[in-house]
A and B are shown apart, each in its own frame.
Chain A
Amino acid sequence: MQTTQALVLRTSGTNCELETARALERGGARVDVLSHRRLQDDLPSLAKYKIMVFAGGFSHGDDLAAGRVWGSDLRAMRRELDAFVADGGLILGVCNGFQVLVESGLFQPERAPEERTLALYSNASNHYECRWVDLAVEASVCPWLSAGWKFPVPVAHAEGRFTCTDETTLHELQAAGQIVLTYQGQSDSATYPENPNGSAGDVAGICDPSGRVVGLMPHPERNLEVFNRPDWTRLEGRSEGEGLRFYSDLVAAAKP
């Protein structure tokens, strides 16, 4: 049987590429880690991959804004990215990778990137936060995440507040099935710190209209092992971290 090939992309300041690659490998893929520069020099090599993941970190220091510079770099390969998706490829952006995808404009393909109406803004708490949250998968057009599944993951970011220019954008995204993941609370809507950053609609992750480009702020690749959860010493009967399924479902959906 052929193995699904996945590409983990990094650039200056990326720092989650190794655990992301490990998660994809544990999920059943064969993984290459490449720098953006190397890929740009050899764009045709994209064709051999079925999965492309933008790993987390602080690309280019997030110096101008989180994900801004790498997102801007992606404009130069927009045609290839569109072809990759049209060809059945799946794109994932985690944390800074999500910020990069937002900046690239991929989630609203009908608009120019500098006219997008959604953004990831400074956390409502006004500082970087690293804590564990509960996520729920919403019913969406994303082909590989099962609606209704809930799982714990850590978040670690300073700019993860999902924000839209107006209510209309959020409703349109909801109506188009583009809301993929939400923060879960004790009651219907999550409060701080259940929703760790003040995201509108408790949105933790979204997809593009095709469902094949997904971005999320939390880090499922940091919950692969039984002992990664902060409360694992209280639990019994688990054989793996819940984040592993996130990646194995992704790999399973991307047929080789």
Chain B
Amino acid sequence: MATAQRSQAPPQAWRVEVFRRPTVDDPEGSHALAAAQALGLESITDLRLGRGYLLPPEFDETQVLRTVRELLADPVLDSARITAPGESPAREGQTFVLVARKPGVTDPVSQTLERALHTAGIAPTSQRDLLVTTFQAWELDCSPNEDHLAQLSRRVLANVVIDQVLVNDESLHYGLPPAGEAHGVVHVPLLNLDEEQLLALSSEGMLSLDLAEMLTIQGHFAGLGREPTSCELETLAQTWSEHCQHKTFRGRIEMDGEVIDNLLKSTIAKATHELNKPWCISVFHDNAGIVEFDSVNGETWDLSMKVETHNHPSAIDPYGGAGTGIGGVVRDILGVGLGAKPIANLDAFFVGPPDLPRAEVPRGCMHPSRILRGVVAGVRDYGNRMGIPTVAGGVWFHEGYTANPLVYAGTVGLMPRWAATKEVKPGDVILTVGGRTGRDGIHGATFSSVELHEDSETMSAGAVQIGDPITEKKVLDGLLAARDKRLFRGLTDCGAGGLSSAVGEMGAECGAEVDLDLVPLKYPGLSPEEIWISEAQERMVLGVPPENLDACIAVFDAEGATATAIGHFTDTGRLVLRYEGVLQADMDMHFLHEGNPRQTRQASWDTPDIPTPEVPELNDPGATLLALLGRPTVANKEWIIRQYDHEVQGQRVIGPTSGVRNDGPSDGVVLHPLPDSKKGAAIGVGANARYGRLDPRAMAEACIDEALRNVVAAGGDPAHTSLLDNFSWGNCNKPDRLGSLVHAAKGCYASAMALGTPFISGKDSLNNEYRVGAETIAIPPTLLISALSILPDVSKAVSMDLKTAGNVLLLVGETKNHLGGSELHALLGLDGGSVPRPDLSTSPDLFARLHGSMQARLVRTCHDLSEGGLAVALAESAMAGNLGADVQLPSGTGLNSTCALFSESTTRFLVELAPNNEEAFRKALGSHPVCKLGLVQTEPRLQIAGESGSPLIDLDLGAVHAAFNSSFQG
């Protein structure tokens, strides 16, 4: 909000505000107005946006007019208001709100305008260092009350984490951000601190180091006989953070008398190791996993995949957090081996209920609907601009995510085999490419390792990063070009911890020296440690043989991407940092990477003592089905899918939606990455918000089963499927949280071994708790499983929409009473019961045989059964094909019809085939349960009879469609 003390003087710059003409609509204005009305701000009745620009006062009037006519205002759509430096604009509205990025926050638009002023010849070369800034001028004709105006500013028009807001105040900031302090060496005295003081130092410095770690650092520097510099301490904090080191997964755990030394190595990575698949090219040690794809025209191609969590940043800035989440995982793929081309993105969100009453939103949190809209827009604007199709994912809704939403972003890459390995050699130049470094994203790695609290929004403003996808696209184009010219041999991305992590990791085995003053900055005034740990986005670090340096820089220059040599790798085993020749850090790489104390954590798990409820008797199963279809987790997500470009790169085989109207929810998606290959790549995910609290092991196994169902249903080969794990849990220093994590990890091992599906990459986020006062709330334990599967022949891909009246409908797989954690229970407010858990002695063979039947082209349609069970799957397939179904529940199962319709037992599929293929299909499936349900029918009705033949459900597809579209639509 505007503060009374500030000077009200307008900026000393030309000001241009571009409004939509009254003859055309104002999309941004109506968008904001709708959001204000959704918040109940009824005194806001109109809003219009002026896109604002501050141009240099050195410009003469002709230059300003040319800028407006040629670059800023559209002759058909816009009218512009120009105000001379130091003057106030002639505003038309009663009230106005100006929103500008805080000084130092990335503003891609102003950078584009600065460049365009020169290329258009408006600014002569003599005016090189022009400063242009942008802002938004919102004008209102109405007279809103003060509270509404404040809420509008804070909750609709601006994000106070990154924006400054002026209400009825013209004093916009024009100028560079204020410079920081002098840059000598700063030593941090800690040798004489006691335990309490060490902890205080860690907390005040946002280091997120615990006592054992602080004591280890103290001991190390005591041995050296000196105090650490602030650069050294920050480097240790970044490198040892949970985010970078995965201390929980790699530490020691004691549970029920068992000692687990390194949970990752004894479960997830163990499965990969024991399965030892020849098509796993690189697993667990690089930025992403790499698996073999196909050989075409003498070149072998691999696929790489990585899925990341980006939870905490998305909680305080959903738009920026989700966008930089995508940007970060894309860089993981750009940085795997010698670089892969990103060919697909996926996103998965876990948020609170979209209809949560406002009074139930915890203090300091945003409403789930605002969070969801924000993360969707963030993924949209980053992924679409990068030219990477966002093809797969999901949204899960649960009260437990209200204060701590989960945002997962994943990317698949395509790379030639020769690029799968890399090396760092002493003497190679350390080259940074891409974005400039600013004060954005300081302490992101350590921030994400602590719990959120009601002041997170204001406390951690510096931890939020701002994305600039076009800069990352330039990096992508330059990097792949330099790769193909084989100009570099070492590579990684700048993610959490910034340069400190990137250079520290690359030089871990040899040593590195960096001159921090060579790092290109967005603006002057950063301290050496800020440069070193900034998480400014869109940066990569290359290791370049000195003889290739000029050629490499030239390749990036041709793409308009900055490439700068900042140091070189050494053979000293030390990390040496200087700023303007002054030594800032001189550390032993071994201590940095291996010196942190391994900790032992206690784990325990007690199955919650909840009595199993009776199987509910449903008076009207049809009404129950419609209610389930309208539940947010089940309902249509088209409003999200349509905002993502899922077609760019032209690889579509099975998209996120299928069917006559292209609105049926596909299971897995299938891409055709290499034009000259027959092969395809299927991507599917599995997750559940409700199973884990009841039975974490069953949840893990069910999620893996679901991810596999999704890719196999679309035609993926289960024998060539790899998995990725992303655990989001509560605070795992608490034994019960850690106990459920151990059970889930064991489930991952058992499933992967049985199914022959190795894990190739993973990432965890283990402090998802929200503190209000003395209480903390943990999220439901949430495991996102992603599956990447190869299709031998894309022409054999299968979609989920019913195809032809008269075809046979079959249910494949066994149904049991698995209503625990089901959508039906959630709908009816029931708790407890048996969570679905796959039978690992039969499921692998069932997947293999179903795939075989698809390779024999026996299957016309296949849809996996998940939330809502058989009834929901039938409804979705019928709706997507705009064809009815006339079916009867299988007899002799001993199951109550409620279970038959809505149980969520795993490893089940709805299959449609031509009647003359039924026998061959049954033969192909061997002894697995295959029940004939009935027939596809022309009449657009979903008719389901009980096992006795009495009608249970009889619904018009129009009603089904309406229910499916009845939930939150953005």
A binds B: yes
How far does the alpha carbon of A165 sit from the alpha carbon of B21 in the complex, in Å?
11
How far does the alpha carbon of A252 sit from the alpha carbon of B675 in the complex, in Å?
22
Nearest B residue to A20 via CB reads B650
How far does the alpha carbon of A130 sit from the alpha carbon of B881 in the complex, in Å?
21
How far does the alpha carbon of A35 sit from the alpha carbon of B120 in the complex, in Å?
17
B70–A61 CB distance below 8 A: no
Nearest B residue to A193 via CB reads B642
Q: Which residues does chain A contribute within 8 Å of B24, judged by CB atoms? A: 121, 163
Q: Which residues does chain B contribute within 8 Å of A165, judged by CB atoms? A: 75-76
B108–A63 CB distance below 8 A: yes
How far does the alpha carbon of A13 sit from the alpha carbon of B675 in the complex, in Å?
23
A63–B30 CB distance below 8 A: no
Nearest A residue to B387 via CB reads A15
Contacting residue for A222 out of B113, B560, B642, B650, CB 8 A: B650
B803–A164 CB distance below 8 A: no
Contacting residue for A126 out of B31, B116, B658, CB 8 A: B31
Stretch in contact with the other chain, from B689-697, B701-709, B793-801: B793-801
B794–A227 CB distance below 8 A: yes
Determine if B926 is an interface residue (Cβ-Cβ < 8 Å).
Answer: no
| Given A118-B76, A130-B643: A63 in contact with B384 (beta carbons within 8 A) | no
B648–A114 CB distance below 8 A: no
Interface residue total, chain B, C-beta cutoff 8 A: 62
Stretch in contact with the other chain, from B183-191, B198-206, B317-325, B467-475: B467-475
| Given A63-B108, A63-B113, A165-B76: A156 in contact with B648 (beta carbons within 8 A) | yes
Q: Give chain A nearest CB distance to B47 CB in angstroms.
A: 14
Determine if B77 is an interface residue (Cβ-Cβ < 8 Å).
Answer: yes
B645–A163 CB distance below 8 A: no
Q: Give chain B nearest CB distance to A25 CB in angstroms.
A: 10
B662–A15 CB distance below 8 A: no
Determine if A68 is an interface residue (Cβ-Cβ < 8 Å).
Answer: yes
B469–A61 CB distance below 8 A: yes
Determine if A202 is an interface residue (Cβ-Cβ < 8 Å).
Answer: no
Beta-carbon contacts under 8 Å, B457-473 to A: 468-470, 473
Q: Which residues does chain A contribute within 8 Å of B559, judged by CB atoms? A: 12, 35
How far does the alpha carbon of A46 sit from the alpha carbon of B652 in the complex, in Å?
33
How far does the alpha carbon of A114 sit from the alpha carbon of B611 in the complex, in Å?
73
Determine if A226 is an interface residue (Cβ-Cβ < 8 Å).
Answer: yes
Determine if B72 is an interface residue (Cβ-Cβ < 8 Å).
Answer: yes
A233–B797 CB distance below 8 A: yes
Q: Which residues does chain B contribute within 8 Å of A80, judged by CB atoms? A: none
Q: Give chain A nearest CB distance to B108 CB in angstroms.
A: 6
B112–A222 CB distance below 8 A: no
| Given A19-B650, A58-B385, A233-B798: A163 in contact with B77 (beta carbons within 8 A) | yes
Q: Which residues does chain A contribute within 8 Å of B662, judged by CB atoms? A: 131-132, 230-231
Determine if B653 is an interface residue (Cβ-Cβ < 8 Å).
Answer: yes
Q: Which residues does chain B contribute within 8 Å of A116, judged by CB atoms? A: 75-76
Q: Give chain B nearest CB distance to A57 CB in angstroms.
A: 6
B70–A12 CB distance below 8 A: no
Determine if B518 is an interface residue (Cβ-Cβ < 8 Å).
Answer: no
B470–A64 CB distance below 8 A: no
B-contact 0/1 string along A122-156, CB 8 Å cutoff: 10001111111000000000000000000000101
Q: Which residues does chain B contribute within 8 Å of A129, judged by CB atoms? A: 642-643
Q: Give chain B nearest CB distance to A221 CB in angstroms.
A: 6
Q: Which residues does chain B contribute within 8 Å of A228, judged by CB atoms? A: 650, 652-653
Determine if A69 is an interface residue (Cβ-Cβ < 8 Å).
Answer: yes
Determine if A214 is an interface residue (Cβ-Cβ < 8 Å).
Answer: no
Determine if B214 is an interface residue (Cβ-Cβ < 8 Å).
Answer: no
How far does the alpha carbon of A64 sit from the alpha carbon of B134 in the complex, in Å?
11
Q: Which residues does chain B contribute within 8 Å of A224, judged by CB atoms? A: 650
Determine if A248 is an interface residue (Cβ-Cβ < 8 Å).
Answer: no
How far does the alpha carbon of A68 sit from the alpha carbon of B117 in the complex, in Å?
12
Beta-carbon contacts under 8 Å, B402-425 to A: none
Q: Which residues does chain B contribute within 8 Å of A18, judged by CB atoms? A: 649
How far does the alpha carbon of A128 sit from the alpha carbon of B645 in the complex, in Å?
8
B76–A233 CB distance below 8 A: no
Determine if B243 is an interface residue (Cβ-Cβ < 8 Å).
Answer: no
Determine if B915 is an interface residue (Cβ-Cβ < 8 Å).
Answer: no
Determine if B74 is an interface residue (Cβ-Cβ < 8 Å).
Answer: yes
How far does the alpha carbon of A97 sit from the alpha carbon of B675 in the complex, in Å?
23
Contacting residue for B470 out of A12, A38, A122, CB 8 A: A12
Q: Which residues does chain B contribute within 8 Å of A64, judged by CB atoms? A: 71-72, 109, 112-113, 116
Q: Which residues does chain A contribute within 8 Å of B74, judged by CB atoms? A: 65, 119
B473–A13 CB distance below 8 A: yes
Determine if B105 is an interface residue (Cβ-Cβ < 8 Å).
Answer: no
Q: Give chain A nearest CB distance to B791 CB in angstroms.
A: 11
Contacting residue for B655 out of A35, A65, A73, A230, CB 8 A: A230
Nearest A residue to B470 via CB reads A61
B643–A127 CB distance below 8 A: yes
B112–A69 CB distance below 8 A: yes
Contacting residue for A19 out of B108, B120, B384, B649, CB 8 A: B649
Determine if B374 is an interface residue (Cβ-Cβ < 8 Å).
Answer: no
Q: Give chain B nearest CB distance to A21 CB in angstroms.
A: 11
How far does the alpha carbon of A121 sit from the alpha carbon of B658 in the complex, in Å?
29
Q: Which residues does chain B contribute within 8 Å of A58, judged by CB atoms? A: 384-385, 387, 469-470, 473
Nearest B residue to A69 via CB reads B116
Contacting residue for A128 out of B69, B72, B384, B672, CB 8 A: B384
Determine if B646 is an interface residue (Cβ-Cβ < 8 Å).
Answer: yes
A15–B119 CB distance below 8 A: no
How far does the alpha carbon of A115 sit from the alpha carbon of B76 in the complex, in Å?
8
B803–A234 CB distance below 8 A: yes
Q: Which residues does chain A contribute within 8 Å of B27, judged by CB atoms? A: 122, 126
Q: Give chain A nearest CB distance to B904 CB in angstroms.
A: 26
Determine if A210 is an interface residue (Cβ-Cβ < 8 Å).
Answer: no
A-contact 0/1 string along B17-47, CB 8 Å cutoff: 0000000100100110000000000000000
Shortest Cβ-Cβ A-B pairs, 10 listed: A15-B387, A19-B650, A119-B76, A63-B112, A61-B470, A230-B662, A122-B27, A233-B799, A156-B645, A63-B109
A-B contact pairs, 26 of them (CB 8 A): A13-B385, A14-B387, A16-B649, A22-B650, A35-B558, A56-B648, A61-B108, A61-B385, A61-B468, A64-B116, A68-B116, A73-B120, A114-B70, A119-B74, A119-B76, A121-B24, A121-B77, A128-B645, A129-B642, A131-B662, A156-B384, A163-B24, A165-B76, A221-B650, A226-B795, A233-B799
Using a CB–CB distance below 8 Å, which chain B residues touch chain A? Answer: 24, 27, 30-31, 69-72, 74-77, 108-109, 112-113, 115-116, 119-121, 380, 384-387, 468-470, 473-474, 558-560, 641-650, 652-653, 655, 657-660, 662, 672, 675, 794-795, 797-799, 801, 803, 881
Using a CB–CB distance below 8 Å, which chain A residues touch chain B? Answer: 12-16, 18-19, 22, 35, 37-38, 56-58, 60-61, 63-65, 68-69, 72-73, 75-76, 113-119, 121-122, 126-132, 154, 156, 163-165, 219, 221-228, 230-231, 233-234
20 further A-B contacts with Cβ under 8 Å, apart from A63-B108, A219-B647, are: A15-B387, A19-B649, A58-B384, A64-B72, A64-B109, A114-B75, A119-B74, A121-B24, A127-B643, A129-B642, A130-B644, A130-B646, A222-B647, A224-B650, A227-B652, A227-B653, A227-B794, A230-B662, A231-B662, A233-B797
